[in-house]
Structures are given as C-alpha cells and as structure tokens.
Amino acid sequence: MWSCAVLSREDNEILVRVGPGTAMGNLMRRFWLPALLESELPDNDGTPVRIRLLGEDLVAFRDSLGRIGLLEEHCPHRRSSLALGANEDCGLRCLYHGWKFDVNGQCVDTPAEPEGATLAKAMRAKAYATHVAGGMIWAYMGPAEEKPPFPDFPWLSMTGGHSVPFKLLEDCNYAQAVEGTVDSAHAGVLHRENPWSQEAKYPHEKDLRPRLEIDYTNYGLRYCAIRNDEGLRHARVTQVVLPFWTFIPPDGGKAPAFRRDRRLVNAFVPRDDYSTWHIQWFFDDNFAIDVPHRIEEGGHWHDEHFRKLVNIDNWYNQDREAMKSSNFSGIKGIMTQDHAVSETQGRILDRTKEHLGRSDIAVVGWRRLMLRAARELAVNGSAPEAATTTLDWSRVTAETFTYPSEQGWRDVLPLPEELKPQTSSAA
C-alpha cells in the first residue's frame, strides 16, 4: 500500500498560523497580497472600509487626491476605530479626539492638544504600502526595506472586460482552501455534472485515476494530471505559485468556444487563522468575461460583506433529488462545491488524521515548499525566490492539451530554464 506522509501536529501548526510573529505569517508578509476590490473604495474622501488580513484589523481609505491608505484600524491615541472617522482633506480623522492621519500613517493634526504641541509630529499609525492593479488594491505588510517587486501578472493589465476579479469569504483556514485546488483528482467527482450512475461527459470524469507528475520551480511548483482520452493522453497543467496562488488550466478544445481559452486564477489570502479571502480572476484574450454567467456558474452569490448566501448554515442548499438526476454533488456553483468540502473539514483541518494517497502528491509538495520557506525565513532571514525574483509571468501558464502516448507532456510544455529553482527542492 502506497501513502504520502501526513503532517505532524507541529508542522500543521506552522502551516496554518498566520498572525503577527508566526513563522507562516512572517512568510506571507514578504509577498504582495490582493486585499480588496478597487470598487470597494470608489470615491475620493469616501467611506473607509474595514478589512482583516493575516489576523490584523485594518482600515482602507481613498484620500482627497485618490491615494490609498491602509492603516491599523485602531487609533494610536485611545484605540477607537478609525473606520468611524471622517475622511477629509487628505486624511482620516478619528471621531474620539480628532487626531488625523494621512495615507502614510503620519499624524498631521491633534486638535485637542495645546497650541504648539509637537505630539502630532512624533505620532504615527501603523501603515502598509498599497498598489492598485487588476481591479484590486494590494497590500505589502512586511519590512519596508524588504519590499519585493510587484508581480506583474499578465491578466492584471487586460482591459475591455477581458479580466474580471471576484471576491468571497471562505470560512476555513487558507491552507485547506489552497489544497482544494492543488488537487486535479477531485474534479471528476465533486464537479461531476451527471449522477454517478450515468455516462461520464468530460475526460476528467471518464478517467478518475489521473497520474500526477510535479516540477519544482523558482516560484513554487507546477503539476500535470495525465488521463487517457480516446487513445491520446489528456494533460492538465496547473501552476501553484507561493504562497497561495493556483493557476487553473482552461477547458480546452472540446469545450464551447467561449470557455475554450478562458482561464482562472485563485488567490487564497488569509483573513486570519480561521477564514480566507478567496479572490479569483477570470480572464480570456478572445472573449470578454460574461459576469452574470460567471456568477451563476461559480456560485458567487454574497452579501455586502462578501459572505456567501449559500453556505454551511443552510448546508449549501444541497438538493438530494438533483444528485439522482443532474448534479452529483447536489450543490449549485463550482466555487460553492469547492467551499463546501473545504469548510466541512473544520475551520482548521487536523492533518494528523488524514490518510493520503497518490492523488495527493501535489498537495504534499505544496505543503513541503511552504514549511521549508517559512523555516528558512525564520532561521536565516531568507525570503523565498518566489517573493524576491522578478519573473516574466507570461511564461507561467496553466494549459490543457492532448498528446500521443509515446510522447511526454514536458515535450509539449517544457519548463523554461529561467524558471527552474536555484536551490534544491524541498520534496
């Protein structure tokens, strides 16, 4: 019997804890993080937005000049929430005593202090660097002197509706959310369109035992799920970019035209140890993204706080009759299906109780890379290549293709030399 090693309790704790001062939290803070949709801050001097990232309560605001500030939510004076404050005249003014802070966290006014007092000049609120790209406001929460290059992913600069971001709250730890997409084997089961007893429709439904092969890279890893498809090999290559990105391959040549080259990228940004911001971009060079269709197909129904309307509280509206006739899971929406299996593992998965198999090879590879990166940062201060290297991200693509059985998938999609790791792999 073949099995991958499960994580120890110690390793699981390192993997899942992301708050200030934790090994994984320190690692996460070395990357640019997509934090909130640009549409959440539409107006200069508009309503501030509360946001929780990596266990920290923050407030974002757009000042009079359109600049984005991201500050610790609680005023450094008496710790009232700055999200209640007045956003005016290039600063956020606390309601309690009127202390005012600019986008860099500098206190610029203390109206309740004596005339000529110098307290304001010495006072700062914790502030994080921001960047706007791809319809998102991004944050860098690590040491200012170690700020990495911004990852210029190609879809961030696509215009005309060809790239659209979505955001939802997932009620579980980020790691099990990531692992749900570093898992090609589940697609033919969880996302099966027909009941189990009916004829399979797609290659991933017809061959439920893909062979997984991994390449380690300087940004994380890529893996290929290889299936049989009418005498050919069917390959789906997924990219897994540290710390929490998964690039999902398109549906390929047998899909309808509007879905054939459509790509999906996931970012699972830790909100805290127990919840995750699931951010997705759909993008396509040939077609503008059909947003209403995407909402319906994916299950992107949410309230004003980005909490799913179809969630664990209503047991994902699972339809047992549909399971017998039209939908194996009985749950509408691909994303909702993914969240259902991740969230019902518990808010934090106890990986010591797992029993892993061959289909979990890529999951194990990602865990090892993350644990190694966190430990190396803790021991010698070395941030991973994925955070510090300027890459040509157009060369990091997820693909679907078929090839003759006498060939290998790497013959079709070789790994460029410049993307190979400079240090030995963790796995």
Query: 194: pLDDT confidence band, cut at 50, 70 and 90?
Result: confident
Give the contacts of 136 (CB within 8 A, at least 6 positions apart): 34, 35, 36, 37, 38, 165, 279
pLDDT tens track for 131-162: 999 999 999 999 999 999 999 999 999 999 99
Is residue 4, in this structure, part of any structural domain at all?
no
Do 232 and 203 fall within a single domain? yes
**Of 146, 176, 210, which marks where a domain is finished?**
146
The CATH number of the domain holding residue 117 is 2.102.10.10
Would you say residue 372 lies in a domain?
yes
Domain match, 297 and 179 both: yes
**Average pLDDT over every residue of 25-54:** 98
**Tens digits of per-residue pLDDT, 301-351?**
999 999 999 999 999 999 999 999 889 999 999 999 999 999 999 999 999
Whole-Å CA distances, 92 to 89, 104, 117, 346:
8, 11, 20, 38
- Regarding whether 160 and 41 lie in a shared domain, the answer is no
Q: Give the closest residue to 240 by CA, choosing from 139, 127, 386, 138.
A: 386
Question: Of 146, 170, 205, which residue sits at a domain end?
Answer: 146
Q: How far is CA 14 from CA 19, 22, 152, 370, 386, in A?
A: 11, 8, 29, 9, 19
pLDDT band at 257 (very low <50, low <70, confident <90, very high): low
| Number of domains comprising the chain | 2
pLDDT for res 200: 72
The owner of tokens 């708050």 is 19
Please check whether residue 16 lies inside any domain of the structure.
no
**Structural domain boundaries, residue 131:** 32-146
Which CATH number belongs to the domain containing residue 229 in this structure? 3.90.380.10
CB of 131 within 8 A of CB of 70? no
**Site of tokens 């600049």:** 67
Which is more confident, 2 or 225? 225
Residues 128 and 160 in one domain: no
Rounded to 5°, the CA angle 54-28-39 comes to 60
Given 111, 146, 181, the domain boundary residue is: 146
**Statement to judge: residues 170 and 47 lie in one domain:** no
Residue 426: the pLDDT is 46
Query: Mean pLDDT across the stretch 62-73?
Result: 98
Q: Are 16 and 23 in contact (CB under 8 A)?
A: no
Is 5 part of a structural domain of the chain? no
What is the pLDDT at residue 403? 95
State which amino acid sits at residue 326: S
Task: Specify if 283 maps to a domain.
Answer: yes
Model confidence band, residue 253 (pLDDT cutoffs 50, 70, 90): low
Q: Looking at the domain assignment, is residue 24 inside a domain?
A: no
**Single pTM value for the model:** 0.94
Please report, for residues 4, 59, 217, 240, 374, the alpha-carbon distance to residue 424 in angstroms, rounded to integers and kept in the order given: 20, 40, 10, 17, 16
Which residue would you say has higher pLDDT here, 260 or 341? Answer: 341
Give the side-chain half-sphere CA count within 13 A for 27: 27
> Residue 15 belongs to what H/E stretch?
helix 9-16
The yes-or-no verdict on residue 425 having pLDDT over 70 is no
Same domain, 205 and 283: yes
As a dihedral over the C-alpha atoms of residue 235, residue 239, residue 240, residue 245, rounded to 10 degrees, the angle is: -130
